[in-house]
A and B are shown apart, each in its own frame.
Chain A
Amino acid sequence: MENEKETVISVRNLNVKFLSHGKKVHVIRDVSLDVYKGETLAIVGESGSGKSVFTKTFTGMLDANGYIDGGSVIIDGVDVSKFKKSKEWYGIRGKKIATIFQDPMTSLNPLLSIGYQISEVLRIHHGLSKKEAKEEAIKLLERVKIPNARKRYDDYPFQYSGGMRQRVVIAIALACRPEILICDEPTTALDVTVQTQILDLIKELQQEYNWTIIFITHDLGVVAKVADRIAVMYGGQIVEVGTAEDVFYRPAHPYTWALLSSLPQLGSKEEPLLYIKGNPPTFGDEIIGDAFAPRNEYAMRIDYILDPPMTKISDTHSAKTWLLDKNAPKVKKPSIIRNLRERMEIAAKELQKELGDYYE
């Protein structure tokens, strides 16, 4: 099974640093990851975990003061981490990889019509004439379910609601005809009901166009909905990676445990919600040993001294924690994680009255 998967992006020992006020800040620390064709990989982490920075290296969109300091990002057999000029990126950005950003309110140019912003891509990437581009753009707008697409072609972004704008952004991504789509928190700024619609649309389009999707989010609810595979990031490292089932049903890293148990969906009125104590490391803090150790209830002495290795649990699942070391003491997962599935079912049953029949 494992060998049949085709790797589209292969990251090895990637390090990214930022120059900030003359100091070098280590933001991505020795990350390796493979992205397989046709899958949806979710990268989960708090703000400041480096998840956005990490994916920006795939398209060369690091901020001006950021640079890659060792490691490789191989896309289609080319190591893009060695790219120097912006020209070199033109074959990848918008052609092979398209990106959708968090805030649909600001990702569209406010002074250009919706139609122009879509047909621009079609004309430039696919050499369509103005007229052809317009027809094609209207088709795309209809594809992302914008009502009255022909009429709204000449509208400006400010005439659209947030959800509609995100649909336009997706239509632009569609116009790029990419193989890989990076979704950088595409629904964080939207209402829950709109969020569901947008996620469904993305999933639907993925099946139609066989996209590989890299989905960046901090919301595990969203992850459960979309992801085939999950990479959990903390302090500039991937601390756990596995299939959705692995991470949700057999989480191995204490940080994943903490993330799962702090979901408000699981709270009951009687007890206070669980949460992760302390604060995530900010850029600029020097990290020795395990970045999560200061907030980790299960931290051992070694966690403060040595960075734990990535330990393989199964073919698809590995985690970066000393708890998996053969010398580590056996720890009991927090109770909330042990009966997570049960809690979920209760929560689900409460939220989805009509769905009573869907459960065995």
Chain B
Amino acid sequence: MSFYLVTYTILFLVVALIVFIELVAHQVIFKTGRMQRIFGHPLLRYSLRRIGSALISVLLAIIVTFFLIRATVDIDQLCLTTQFSTAFQKLPPAVVEARCDIFREQMGFNGGPFEQLMNFLYDIMPIPKTLCQSTNLLVDGVYYNSVQDCRFFLFDLGQIYSETVADLTHGPVYVIDYIGEKMMVSFPVGILAAVVQIVLGYPLGMLMAKRKDGVVDKIGKAYIISIDAIPGVAYYYIWMSIFVALFALPARYDVNNFLSWLPPVLTIGLTGMAGIALWVRRYMIDEFNSDYVKFARAKGLTEGRITRIHVFRNAIVPLVRTIPSAILGALLGSFYIERIYQINGIGDMLINANNAHDFFAVQGIVIVTALISIVSYLLGDIVTAIADPRISFTE
């Protein structure tokens, strides 16, 4: 009961805040003064609106995914393969039909498409609810759902039903929990890789721009071109062989052994760094040639200051947009890298789920990916708006 109370209160507060901000922004209440300055700030309203429209895009993406998956999945076939052991698939049709009805209901395939969609949306909407799922019990080659497992949900993405995706022996596994679990595996590697990219990429680009056509620039250019020219997958294997064969680092990822972290982190970091350095260099060279840098020089500023305050700042404005997506993208990991170094992260899960036709798992990953990319796009816009005073938050 208290769950409901808390979540409903929070939802109510969020709605109230949005209404309040809109009222202040339209100068209905608090026409002047500090409240106006804080809550009427255009950035706040801009962000709200963007979040609103982002949520709508997420919803649309979810609906599209929903129908796509319905269109590709043959539910009867799925019922046969997952609900009956191979030997018992030729049971009397009535038994099969009865069992499959239950399965269909579990999977949300009952009723017309509109009803299905509504049920599905109710499940994934952030409305507090208690859902009961049943666990399969294997009796005489037929899985029976007997154990009721009720749980409180805010979002429900369904249950995993394929054993190749998750271990189902200890009770039902919910997609939302499982994705969270897998993210925690992908995230440390991904975030470290993002940091390596940024920490190496930006200074390299800066150095290359500052001494254009110098030694660093030439080496850097050669590196960037070679990364660009060779396909990504091939490059990953080249890195792997360098790390493993040359530096004798472990080829298999193991959470507890830090040395084994290095190959995946460096593989992503060193590859991604090239792209960042390329853009930083390009933007910085543009800025170096701009009139205001000449004017700053005429003002008598030192070269170091010009580079730091005037050139670098301006050059990264178009690039800060990518930082949120780099950080949030780390949650999802990289499919190739996870395959190569055998990291059991999201990428690994997606491949397994796809092979096992576990469509709740696939659907869950697609929705989470869409959410993350839309949120990171939104954050990118907000960060750019903060960095660049020329962008106005009003229409």
Contact = CB atoms under 8 A, between A and B. Distances in A.
Interface of A: 59, 61, 86, 90, 92-95, 98-99, 101, 103, 106-113, 120-121, 124-125, 156, 158, 169, 172, 176
Given A106-B290, A176-B300, 20 more contacts: A59-B298, A86-B303, A92-B300, A94-B299, A94-B301, A98-B298, A99-B298, A101-B298, A106-B291, A109-B310, A109-B314, A112-B309, A112-B310, A113-B389, A121-B300, A121-B301, A169-B295, A172-B295, A172-B299, A176-B299
Nearest to B288: A64
B237 interface: no
A59 B300 CA distance: 10
Contacts of B291: 101, 103, 106-107
Nearest to A158: B390
B386 to A, nearest CB: 11
B299 A101 contact: no
Among A86, A108, A110, the most chain B Cβ lie within 10 Å of the Cβ of A110
B295 A124 contact: no
Given A93-B298, A93-B299, A101-B291, A111 B305 contact: no
A101 B295 CA distance: 7
A99 B295 contact: yes
Contact of B390 (A59, A92, A156): A156
A110 B297 CA distance: 16
A153 B348 CA distance: 55
A112 B363 CA distance: 46
A278 B387 CA distance: 50
A90 B299 contact: no
Contacts of A107: 291-292, 294-295
Contacts, number: 73
A228 B310 CA distance: 37
A277 B39 CA distance: 66
Given A124-B305, A156-B389, A158-B390, A109 B300 contact: no
- Of the listed residues A90, A98, A107, A125, the one surrounded by the most CB atoms of chain B closer than 10 A to its CB is A107
B313 interface: yes
Contacts of A156: 389-390
B117 to A, nearest CB: 47
Interface of B: 290-292, 294-303, 305, 309-310, 313-314, 317, 387-390
B292 A109 contact: yes
B70 to A, nearest CB: 49
A143 B302 CA distance: 27
Contacts of B298: 59, 61, 93-94, 98-99, 101
29 contacts: A59-B298, A61-B294, A90-B300, A92-B300, A93-B298, A94-B298, A94-B299, A94-B301, A95-B300, A98-B298, A99-B298, A101-B291, A106-B291, A107-B291, A107-B292, A108-B295, A110-B390, A111-B388, A111-B390, A112-B309, A112-B310, A112-B313, A113-B389, A120-B309, A125-B300, A156-B389, A158-B390, A169-B295, A172-B299
B303 A94 contact: no
A158 B389 CA distance: 9
B295 A111 contact: no
Contacts of A158: 389-390
Contacts of A109: 292, 296, 310, 314
Contacts of B301: 94, 120-121, 124
A113 B314 CA distance: 13
A68 to B, nearest CB: 17
B300 A101 contact: no
A92 B300 CA distance: 8
Nearest to B292: A109
A111 B313 contact: yes
A93 B297 contact: yes
B317 A121 contact: no
A193 to B, nearest CB: 24
B389 A90 contact: no
Contacts of A112: 309-310, 313
Contact of B299 (A86, A103, A121): A121
B297 A61 contact: yes
A95 B290 CA distance: 22
Q: Which 5 residue pairs across A and B have the least CB separation, nearest first?
A: A94-B300, A106-B291, A99-B298, A107-B295, A93-B300
A172 B310 CA distance: 15
B292 A108 contact: yes
Nearest to A99: B298
Contacts of B390: 110-111, 156, 158
A108 B305 CA distance: 15
B288 to A, nearest CB: 10
Nearest to B299: A94
A120 B305 CA distance: 10
Contacts of B300: 90, 92-95, 121, 124-125, 176
A154 to B, nearest CB: 10
Contacts of B388: 111
Nearest to B305: A124
B299 to A, nearest CB: 5
Contacts of B305: 124
Nearest to B291: A106
A290 to B, nearest CB: 33
A202 to B, nearest CB: 16
A225 B151 CA distance: 86
B299 A98 contact: yes
A172 B296 CA distance: 10
A58 to B, nearest CB: 11
Nearest to A102: B291
Contacts of A106: 290-292
Contacts of B317: 111
